[in-house]
Structure 1
């Protein structure tokens, strides 16, 4: 029954989405939040003021998805996990299959995110561009067992197109990751530009960089959502 309701949400208008999500699924969607035509099959979904999930995303098999105020998931993203009750990853008993997005953080277009363990976006963190991968599980070759590790993107960081972030890694606050980079170790230095495979510090970035002080992106997010809707209407019209 629950799975059928979650599939039905894809087709319902906004007013009915909130009603069904709240009363029948126990989800919490703020009246100003936007839930597009995306398949969402998760244990619990909470969306704060002005949060948005655009069309054509697949978000499934997570215990929890939380979008704080103004957080946004754009379109054509694959965000998948393995539920905590599955009995898989017995060597990672404390794993948390969840996506937690801080205020005005953003996932743009066509990314693949593995939420076998926690993926956390701090406030204003952005997974930008296209086709990056975040992995939270891996094969431990020494012990020949699958294990998981959470991934965190720090405040006001930006990860550009085509990057790969491996399990257990972190992106520091106020840092920029160049397109095509691979993060295989925990990066620590803030105000730093990273690049390469493996990603290494290239140069310092000025604390005055405007990106590091961005505020209140709700109008920008709303404009992006409207542009996606318009594009889809033209394709289907």
Structure 2
């Protein structure tokens, strides 16, 4: 029955679809928010003013997606995880784990990226996950304990993530920083105004604090 409701909803005009999702799925969707032709069914969806999900996205097996004001998910992204409400022996050692995606105000995920949100992925304000084919992977296997394991990913405010990167669980990209194209971020960094890059990523050089990207008042870069 639930699958039929989901199939029915994706073909509705947006104004009707929004009301349908609020009534039958208890989602919180601002009147100015919008979901285009996409399969978006986390346990809870919160979309604040002006937030948008473009065509051909899939978001399933998540506890929550929260999109703050004017945040955007572009086309063709695969966003998934492993929910905490399913009965399973996987991740039972992580009692406080939450499968979630949080997009800060005016942040953007462009297109054709893969986000594994088995543990939380947090993307800060005015941050861009740019280009194509990046993988943000919170979930892996603990070889020592021989079990499924997951760790959160944190990306700060006004950060820029280049194309075709890999970011692993427990990694942090600090605010006001850049992760270069094709890099592997597998640890936590704290220094802002820095270009990180390489496999694995490391600090490469400082970035001017007055760079205009770091002082935007609109998310979209013209």
Same fold flag (TM > 0.5): yes
1:152-184 superposed Cα distances (whole Å, 9 cap, x missing partner): 110000111010000111110010000000011
Give yes or no for contact 1:59–1:78 (8 Å, CA) kept in 2: yes
Query: Root-mean-square deviation (CA), in Å?
Result: 1.4
Name whichever of 136-145 and 62-71 sits farther off.
136-145
Q: Which moved more, 1:142-151 or 1:130-139?
A: 142-151
Q: Shift of the alpha carbon at 1:91?
A: 2.1
Q: For the Cα contact (< 8 Å) 1:7–1:40, is it kept in 2? A: no
The alignment status of 1:62 with 2:62, answered yes or no, reads yes
Match of 2:170 in 1: 168
Q: Which runs of 5+ in 2 are unaligned?
A: none
Q: Look up the match of 2:144.
A: 142
Q: Which runs of 5+ in 1 are unaligned?
A: 224-237
The reply to whether residue 213 of structure 1 matches residue 215 of structure 2 is yes
What is the alpha-carbon distance in structure 2 between the residues aligned to residue 94 and residue 207 of structure 1? 37
Runs of 4+ residues deviating >3 angstroms: none
Match in the other structure for 1:41: 41
For 1:144 and 1:49, locate their aligned partners in 2 and report how far apart those are by CA, in whole Å: 44
How far apart, CA to CA, are the structure 2 residues paired with 1:50 and 1:41? 19
1:125 to 124, 127, 134: 127
Query: What TM-score do the two structures reach when normalised by structure 1?
Result: 0.89
Query: What whole-Å deviation, never above 9, does each CA across 1:52-98 have from its counterpart, x for those lacking one?
Result: 00000000010111100000000000001111022221122211101
TM-score by length of 2: 0.95
Q: Helix, strand or coil: the match of 1:85?
A: coil
Aligned to 1:96: 98
- CA–CA distance in 2 between the matches of 1:38 and 1:69? 20
**Counterparts of 1:61 and 1:6 in 2: how far apart (Å)?**
14
Counterpart mapping for 1:49-88 below 5 A: 49-86=49-86, 87=88, 88=90
Give 1:2 shift.
Answer: 3.0
Q: 1:114 corresponds to which residue?
A: 116
Q: C-alpha distance in 2, partners of 1:45/1:69?
A: 14
SS where residue 3 of structure 1 aligns? helix
Aligned 8 A contact 1:84 1:96 in 2: yes
* Deviation for aligned residue 1:102: 0.7
Offset of residue 8 of structure 1: 2.2
Greater mean deviation of Cα atoms: 92-101 or 137-146? 137-146
Question: What displacement does 1:24 show?
Answer: 1.5
Quote the residue 2:198 is aligned against: 196
